Amino acid sequence: MLGQPFSREAWLNFGHAVLFESADTDEAGQLLAHLAESLEIDFLHVSSSEVTPGLFEQLSGQIDNNPRIIYIEPGLWLHPDPEAASPEWAPHPELDPPQACALRQELATLLRNRLADHPVVLVTTVRSFQQMDQGLRCAGLFDRRVQVPGLPPLGMARVFIEEIGAVNLEGSVTGDPDRLGALLHFEYPDSRRRGLFRTAVQRLVWRERRPARYEDLVRFAVYGTADEDSSLDPPAVRYRHAVHEGGHALVATLGSRQQKPPIYCSVLKRGDSQGVMVQPYEIHEHQSDDLSYRDLLHSIRVLLAGRAAEHLLLGPQEVSGRGSTSDLGKASKLAYSMFAQWGLSPVAGTDEAAASNLVIAPDDYVDGVLRSEWKQMVQQFLKDQFLEVLDLLRQHQALLESIAEALTEKTFLLQGDFEVLLDQHTNPNQLKAA
């Protein structure tokens, strides 16, 4: 439409006002700017702070026969009810109800009269169409609604490389866009956080006078982009944390679909964290929003593996009192969801077992007896899985000890380091999976 001769009938059918629904309104605005650039047409970006009485009358005087997209940032002018507004609109200047009403009337006049005879599209964005006043959501005004999907992982990777500059990134980043896209998708799903991440990477490149490595990106994802120095515990204490993280790493490797080692594992102390293990972002468990029973089982076993490794290598008396609190909490919550919310069974190997727990009831209707049964089910299930994990670690105890020793000495291991250790102890193709 924008690249064709003006036709009043065609434009009436196309519409002059479009409402974009997007989880990331900033990203939607950037998409419009790129669209206008690719079409080689005028693009006008109006910030929400500029949306004041008289704005739309001013815009009316600027409209001519040149194709143009006018993007107006969302703000409190969109809806008379502040409770319908989005939290990110709060920093913008508030409009009292009469001003907001007058603005909407000006906008309606602009759309029905001035724009009807010109090739101009006015666009704004919201998370939900309900954030726009009903008086604007009617025929002849915002009568087109487009649901804008977020950037796919590969698109995020391409934009990131373009913005940072390939010369400022090592091949470990640019050589595998799918892996980079998976990291961005999982850790930085919105444009605001990706912008902070991009700035942190640019500062690292400037400060250290070298291209950024994939390892750098993972560290930012793990520890955040704040300027904070990591600290080290004494070797004996560090070994305890290395055993814990090594347990997570080994079970994550043995039980994953691809049997791929972690991309990063460390015993660097930062904030409340004593260490961390990061599985590859591109594996199925991080990419799907509908995990299978097998994926859920794997996730729970990985969570239990830190405590199990401490029990095996340090002994029951030396197990950390609170070091597994977060892991056990996540495992308990996930197991409860499996049984109480998703109708899965602790054992799914037979028809009878798979059919044994199909009751799903809203919380308001769950009586104490049923809740108690689910709790017992979770408790027994976690016990059984802990013993399975302990048996698996015992079978690969020499490898677990090597991982813990390497982590204690080097403080962090990358995927290549794990692959070397795996090769030293056994043929990875013959590893017994969890």
* pLDDT value of position 3: 52
CA–CA gap between residue 11 and residue 419 (Å, rounded): 60
Contact call for residues 403 and 418 (beta carbons, < 8 A):
yes
* pLDDT value of position 2: 52
On the question of pLDDT at 335 being above 90, the answer is: yes
Angle among Cα 99, 102, 103 to the nearest 5 degrees reads 85
CA–CA gap between residue 198 and residue 204 (Å, rounded): 10
Provide, rounded to the nearest whole percent, the portion of the chain with pLDDT above 70: 86
* pLDDT value of position 434: 46
Contact call for residues 392 and 432 (beta carbons, < 8 A):
yes
What one-letter code names the amino acid at 295? D
Nearest Cα to 280, choosing from 297, 302, 300? 302
* pLDDT value of position 282: 75
* pLDDT value of position 87: 59
On the question of pLDDT at 321 being above 90, the answer is: no
Per the DSSP assignment, residues forming a β-bridge with 414 are: 264
CA–CA gap between residue 391 and residue 77 (Å, rounded): 62
Average per-residue pLDDT for the chain: 83
Angle among Cα 368, 374, 380 to the nearest 5 degrees reads 135
Query: Which residue's entry shows tokens 């373009």?
Result: 162
* pLDDT value of position 68: 86
Rounded mean pLDDT, 30-47: 83
Contact call for residues 327 and 303 (beta carbons, < 8 A):
yes
Rounded mean pLDDT, 36-43: 83
- 222's CB contacts (< 8 A; 6+ apart) are 264, 266, 276, 278
Provide, rounded to the nearest whole percent, the portion of the chain with pLDDT above 90: 28
* pLDDT value of position 96: 67
Nearest Cα to 279, choosing from 389, 415, 156, 424? 415
CA–CA distances in Å: residue 87 to residues 24, 25, 126, 189 = 12, 12, 11, 18
Q: Is the dihedral of CA 64, 68, 69, 72 positive or negative?
A: negative
Main-chain phi, psi angles of 17, to 5 degrees:
-135, 125
pTM greater than the 0.85 cutoff: no
Contacts of residues 409-414 at CB distance under 8 Å and 24 or more positions apart, as own/partner, are 411/232, 411/238, 411/266, 411/267, 411/268, 412/264, 412/265, 412/266, 412/267, 412/268, 413/249, 413/262, 413/264, 413/265, 413/266, 414/215, 414/263, 414/264
Residue 135 belongs to what H/E stretch?
none
Rounded mean pLDDT, 229-248: 83
Q: Which residue has the higher pLDDT, 32 or 300?
A: 300
Rounded mean pLDDT, 151-172: 90
Please count the other Cβ atoms lying within 10 Å of the Cβ belonging to residue 284: 14
Nearest Cα to 197, choosing from 167, 235, 160? 160
b/e map 72-95, b = 16+ CB within 10 Å: bbbbbbbbbeeeebbeebeebeeb
